[in-house]
Amino acid sequence: MVMDCQNFKELLDSYLCGELAVETNHTMLCHAERCCSCRSEMAARRQLRESLRRVCSREKMSDQAMENLRTRLRSEAGLGAGQSRSGDEVGRRSWFAGLFKMRFLMPAAVVAALTLLIAAAWSLYVLRREDPSNQQKISRLSSEQIEALELSGSLISESVGDHRTCAAHFVDATGPAEMPDSIRKYDSACVRLDKIAAEGAAGLLLRSAHICGFGERKFAHLVYTRDRQLISLLVTARDSQALKSGRVPPFDGLALGTQRFTSDHLALGAYQTIKRIILVVSDLPENENTALTERLAKPVAEHLRSAEAELEPEKRVGRLNLRED
């Protein structure tokens, strides 16, 4: 199909809903890259969708109406309004209710416990790993600093595009996958990327490890699956096109934590180091994706950060060849 501006605008809503075929998505993105007016139309419609969600989501039933609803349900069920909470039923049904609540509370308790455990393990890991003298100071960033570190729309579209177009090919690939040696030419710090990421990849199946490109951007790409859901870990250069401001401010990345986005129904989580950006893109809900990013991308960010710290500033530029043509 020839993608002109007319076609682009007709398909844009379907594109934003994630309904188009992989090839069409690719054609859309290629057109947007070349056509400034379609690119801004895409941004405007995306803003409109987000705004629509915000305005609609803030509408809530009043507490009074919810209370009335519960009362009416109880009376419809032939139960007194306060029956479940008082009266001589309580003793008899308390174990019932207890069981019932357990069913709902148990998962929450397990999640809370696991989160605490992971948090504790993580802080131990960080403390053990980092020499106190070398430990980077975690400071609170100002809103201007955070703004300067905002990822660009093009990086987000390219990452999402790469996930959509590339990762899908590997959904049934048979492992074990290993990063090819040619990665050295692209980014020597990514040589053992699959092994480093394996630390946080419990429960995920590595389907492929390779270098790929989407639009102008190159990625080191690890493709994982979990129950047929695709998860991409992408490492790319932190260059001026990767950040919204068009500049690359120096920073250690630690204070920023995970950056999170949703684009075209796909959740993205990102970490930045001085030279690179690590992204986790998946079709998981945003919260799950963020948790996964913490698990999967953080060790990679730590590894890349130490690799970058080992290099002398002047050698750093020479040795890293992130955007090879």
Interacting residues with other proteins (CB under 8 A): 9, 13, 17, 37, 40-41, 43-45, 47-49, 51-57, 59-62, 65-66, 68-70, 72-74, 76-79, 83-84, 89, 92-93, 96-97, 100, 104, 265
Pick 16 or 206: Cβ nearer other proteins: 16
Cα 183 from Cα 73, distance rounded (Å): 63
Determine contact, residues 285/267, Cβ cutoff 8 Å: yes
3 state SS for 75-131: HHCCCCCCCCCCCCHHHHHHHHHHHHHHHHHHHHHHHHHHHHHHHHHHHHHHHHHCC
Pick 40 or 115: Cβ nearer other proteins: 40
Pick 6 or 182: Cβ nearer other proteins: 6
Q: How far is the CB of 10 from other proteins (least distance, A)?
A: 9
Query: What six digits make up the tokens of 310?
Result: 């080992």
Name the DSSP class of 272: E
Please provide the size of the chain in residues: 325
Pick 265 or 315: Cβ nearer other proteins: 265
Pick 10 or 310: Cβ nearer other proteins: 10
Report cis status (omega within 30 of 0) of the bond before 132: no
In 3D space, the residue among 271, 119, 111 whose CA is nearest the CA of residue 197 turns out to be 271
The continuous run of DSSP H or E covering 308 comes out as helix 286-310
Query: What six digits make up the tokens of 23?
Result: 């090839």
Pick 60 or 228: Cβ nearer other proteins: 60
Query: What six digits make up the tokens of 264?
Result: 């075209």
Determine contact, residues 8/25, Cβ cutoff 8 Å: no
Cα 292 from Cα 298, distance rounded (Å): 9
Q: How far is the CB of 77 from other proteins (least distance, A)?
A: 5
Pick 47 or 139: Cβ nearer other proteins: 47
Pick 164 or 217: Cβ nearer other proteins: 164
Determine contact, residues 194/224, Cβ cutoff 8 Å: no
Cα 278 from Cα 281, distance rounded (Å): 10
Amino acid letter, 244: K
